[in-house]
Structure 1
Amino acid sequence: MKQTSTFLLLTLAALLAGRPAHAQASGPEARLPTAAEALRQEYATASVNYPYLYNGPEYADYTRKYHIRTGHQFYLLPDVLPGAANYNDREFANVRLQYDIVLDQVIISQPGNPLTLRFIDDKVRTFSIDGHQFVRLVADSTSADIIRTGYYELLADGPVQVLAKRTKTMYEHLNKPYVDVSFTETNRLYMQKAGRYYAVGSKGKALRLLADHSQEMQQYLKEHHLRFGKDDRENSLVELTRYYNGLAK
């Protein structure tokens, strides 16, 4: 928050705090204490939350140096999107986020300030952006060969989870005397069951993980015509897992 705005808020709150209250007041003066209280509450909320929310290092757009950019480094859109986050052990709603899936960094924009910051990764538990929920997973000795520490989109939750790792790879192209850049997106699917993670790239692998309800799974696949080709795999895996979770409950 800018120093000028902070000074004005404090000054106004101090002046209004000293006004005598009249129970029978009417007209504009009767609304002043209410307005002052709203300002004080807004300032108090900002004062409490800002140090916990806007405290990461600056994020600089590293793609600006390129002559021609084909695509971008962000998830969904290059624009700032509505979101929420569990950050610094606090819940923040109605924040403005971007998610750089080349660097695996969450970017936050401050209202009225062109400066963009990135979250400190180990202080993030979850975040959502434009309705998509992400969790931060930390690889350990039992999972390091399957997942790496970072952010994963949570597609299905329950006894079995389905997660997706969204990534982009950046390619430089020499176009003398300039250098251009392009981006290629890759999505990898994982399932978590009983605390263990599994990479899932086929229908067979998914069915083996859900084998304790094998008959029901096979029947559901046939009745709902679920396909596991490249274009259908994610949606089919999510639908099948949600059905399994319903049975498991």
Structure 2
Amino acid sequence: MSHYTFVFFLITGCTGISFGQATTASIAAPEAYPVSIYKEATAQSQNLYNGRQYYVYDARSEEHQFFNDRKWRKGVVRYDEQQFDSIPMIYDIFRDELVVKHFNGDHLLLQSEKVDFFMLDDHNFVRMESGKDINPQMRTGFYDILYDGKSRTIVRRAKQRQEKIVDKRVIALYPQKSFFYILKDGKYHASQTKKAVLNLFPEHKKELRKALRDGKLRFRKQKDLAIAKMVSIHDELAKP
């Protein structure tokens, strides 16, 4: 149960208590108890809801800057060493920033360096630091964990902002790209093509091609599924 859901339960569950003007200490006592519980219950959630205001830009454009779509969806985030569940959120992949919705409707931008991971739309995004978690030439940011076995496979989801003029109006375009990396020998290798994946595992090329055929996976159109399948098959075959 999320922090704010718990708080809502506490408040609604206490509506039977009278909060009229107190004339004695014994009458005032019931007020102090639920207030103290409310403060305790909201103490941790304040860490989540103290970010800067986020304003949706290019809101009228047909294309958008977010992951998958413009809809707010409930997800899980570990922020400032605390985990929060069922939080309405949206991921701006153009700026590589996570935004959450406060229960008063405000849109708040989380500090990326305090986000360990978040789970959204069945995707698990982990913040990885250049030179520490990933290769020095790779950029620090959120990476989608495509496959989490021995040959860990990660994806950086990105969008570029472009403009075109239609009827004297500037229209924003956001074409999306995905950059795939496979961990081998302690280093991440860029793996955008089927050839690149096969070259990483030359001893199992035949089996990997067969896995794609058996699964009826078309690499270019189903790249996420195809790469995850190939890497998992390799790890299975490579077991001692």
User: Which TM class, normalised by the smaller chain length?
Assistant: 0.7 to 0.9
Q: Does 1:241 align with 2:236?
A: no
Task: Say whether 1:58 aligns with 2:53.
Answer: yes
Deviation sequence 1:21-54 (CA, Å, 0-9, x none)? xxxxxxxxxxx9xxx87x975653222x222211
Q: Structure 1 counterpart of 2:56, which letter?
A: D
Where in structure 1 are there 5+ consecutive unaligned residues?
A: 20-31
Q: How far 1:224 sits from its partner (Å)?
A: 4.2
Cα deviation, residue 62, structure 1:
2.0
Percent of aligned pairs with the same residue? 25
- Report the Cα offset of residue 173 of structure 1: 2.6
Q: Aligned partners of 1:41 and 1:212: how far apart in 2?
A: 61
Per-residue deviation, 1:144 = 2.9
2:42 corresponds to which letter in structure 1? Answer: A
1:163 aligns with 2:154: yes
Cα deviation, 1:84-107, whole Å, max 9, x if unaligned, reads 011101111111110001111100
Residues matched between the structures, number: 220
* TM-score, with structure 2 as normaliser: 0.77
TM, length-normalised to structure 1: 0.74
CA offset at residue 108 of structure 1? 0.3
CA contact (8 A) 1:153 1:165 kept: yes
1:140-219 pair list within 5 angstroms: 140=131, 143-145=135-137, 147-175=138-166, 178-211=169-202, 213=204, 216-217=207-208
Q: 1:13-162, aligned counterparts within 5 Å?
A: 44-47=40-43, 49-64=44-59, 68-111=60-103, 113-140=104-131, 143-145=135-137, 147-162=138-153
How far apart are the structure 2 equivalents of 1:102 and 1:193? 28
CA contact (8 A) 1:109 1:117 kept: yes
What runs of 5+ residues in structure 2 fail to find an aligned partner?
A: none
Q: Secondary structure at the match of 2:117?
A: strand
Q: Do the aligned residues in 2 keep the contact of 1:159 with 1:194 (CA within 8 Å)?
A: no
